[in-house]
């Protein structure tokens, strides 16, 4: 089997859609990519995709779970108005102002339909109206079809996503919708690719989780089912930009952000910093004082509790359709994970729960 083109896979994942609860297309695409590394792939009852790559250690081998959520934020149709205009509500944290004047895809009864979020021409708005932004309830989607056809093709409850072909920008940047969290899914593939040329004792279990954007549901059940020795979530964090808080935003191309705070095992985090230093890889430290707002929130507290880690990739313009990432950061994240996993053996895992000195 020829090698997987991982960068190309990211572009394909960005073109697909999978709003929370409807991750089917993404699952299929991710499964295909993971099949380059293992045949042991299954889907659990919630829809989490679980792929296991065996390690070289003696049984029982340590298990490291890597969780990257597959779902994206989106919209759901709530009403079909006279003339066939659609009203929608948000699934996940959608900023209505980033939806204005966008092209969208309505995932209808028997196919996808292109629509436009209508905008009032400036000729018809007063300066004071231009100073106000419309709430999502006041916005509408134009399907360019007569009302009866819209009613035939679209149902209340159908999903809507922004229509955005991923863009390759200069300087190794990629821009598109749903880099949160397709960037991290891609980093797990980079990790598996790197592990092919390393020796690792531990089994690696890559999980594409569902419904992160609706309360980190998939991570909870998959962690419970897998019972790993270490659970590491991979997600995106805020890229630096004007107006972003200095203490919670990170330059693109500055390397993976290793989370430091109560939501993770400080031992695991320290190991990752050590690995980065050894690899001479730039990394950044993301500080948290409580839950991190990622899958690792639930992973740490599943069952009797687990040692966890969190690595995040800086993404600018999060939760918009032009989220922007530097591909080098995705590669580095994969390498960091792979070399961290390569250092995991039975003794290391036992050490993670030891906090007392004799």
Q: Rule CB under 8 A: which residues touch other proteins?
A: 81, 83, 85, 93-95, 97-98, 100-103, 113-116, 118-125, 130-134, 138, 140, 142-146, 149, 162, 164, 167-173, 175, 238, 240-245, 248-249, 251-253, 316-322, 324, 326
CB of 293 to other proteins, least distance (A): 8
CB of 177 to other proteins, least distance (A): 9
Instruction: Yes or no: say if 177 and 323 are a contact pair by the CB < 8 Å rule.
Output: yes
> Per residue in 77-106, is it b (16+ CB within 10 Å) or e — as a string?
beebeeebbbbbeebbebebeebeebebbb
Cβ proximity to other proteins: between 198 and 244 the closer is 244
CB of 164 to other proteins, least distance (A): 8
Cβ proximity to other proteins: between 195 and 252 the closer is 252
What's the per-residue H, E or C state across 67-130? EEECCECEEEEEEECHHHCEEEEEECCCCHHHCCCCEEEEECCCCEEEEEECCCCHHHCCHHHH
Cβ proximity to other proteins: between 203 and 235 the closer is 235
Cβ proximity to other proteins: between 49 and 104 the closer is 104
- C-alpha count within 13 angstroms, C-beta hemisphere, residue 348: 21
Joined together, the tokens standing for residue 213 give 């954007």
CB of 189 to other proteins, least distance (A): 22
CA distance 330 to 335: 9
- 212: annotated active-site residue: yes
For the chain, the straight-line distance linking the first and the last C-alpha, in angstroms and rounded, comes to 52
Cβ proximity to other proteins: between 37 and 117 the closer is 117
CA distance 222 to 287: 26
Q: Tell me which DSSP letter residue 138 carries.
A: G
Joined together, the tokens standing for residue 232 give 């590491």
CA distance 190 to 186: 6
CB of 80 to other proteins, least distance (A): 12
Catalytic residue among 72, 212, 213, 331: 212
Cβ proximity to other proteins: between 168 and 227 the closer is 168
CB of 161 to other proteins, least distance (A): 13
CA distance 83 to 216: 38
33's CB contacts (< 8 A; 6+ apart) are: 4, 6, 9, 189
The residues annotated with a catalytic role in the active site are: 212
């Amino acid at each position: 089997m020829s090698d997987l083109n991982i960068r190309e896979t990211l572009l394909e994942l960005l073109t697909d859609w999978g709003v929370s609860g409807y991750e089917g297309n993404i699952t299929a695409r991710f499964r295909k990519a993971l099949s380059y590394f293992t045949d042991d792939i299954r889907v659990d009852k919630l829809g989490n995709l679980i792929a296991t790559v065996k390690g070289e250690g003696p049984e029982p081998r340590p298990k490291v779970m890597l969780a990257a959520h597959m779902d994206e934020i989106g919209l759901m149709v709530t009403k079909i108005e006279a003339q066939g205009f659609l009203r929608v509500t948000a699934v996940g944290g959608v900023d209505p102002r980033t939806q204005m004047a966008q092209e969208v895809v309505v995932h209808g009864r028997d196919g996808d339909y292109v629509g436009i979020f209508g905008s009032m021409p400036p000729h018809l708005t007063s300066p004071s109206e231009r100073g106000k932004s419309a709430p999502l309830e006041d916005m509408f989607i134009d399907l360019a079809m007569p009302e009866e056809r819209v009613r035939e093709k679209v149902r209340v409850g159908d999903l809507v996503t922004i229509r955005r072909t991923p863009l390759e920008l200069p300087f190794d940047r990629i821009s598109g919708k749903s880099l949160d969290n397709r960037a991290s899914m891609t980093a797990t593939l980079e990790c598996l690719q790197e592990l092919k040329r390393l020796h690792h004792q531990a089994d690696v279990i890559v999980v594409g989780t569902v419904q992160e954007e609706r309360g980190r549901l998939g991570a909870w059940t998959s962690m419970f089912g897998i019972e790993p020795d270490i659970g590491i979530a991979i997600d995106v964090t805020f890229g630096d930009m004007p107006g972003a808080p200095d203490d919670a935003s990170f330059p693109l191309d500055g390397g993976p952000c290793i989370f430091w705070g109560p939501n993770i095992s400080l031992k695991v985090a320290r190991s990752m910093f050590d690995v980065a230093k050894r690899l001479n890889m730039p990394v950044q430290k993301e500080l948290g004082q409580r839950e991190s707002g990622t899958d690792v929130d639930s992973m740490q507290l599943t069952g009797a509790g687990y040692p966890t880690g969190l690595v995040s990739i800086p993404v600018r313009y999060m939760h918009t359709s032009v989220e922007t990432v530097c591909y080098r950061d995705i590669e580095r994240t994969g390498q960091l994970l792979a070399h961290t996993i390569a250092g995991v053996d039975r003794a290391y895992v036992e050490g993670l729960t030891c906090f007392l000195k004799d």
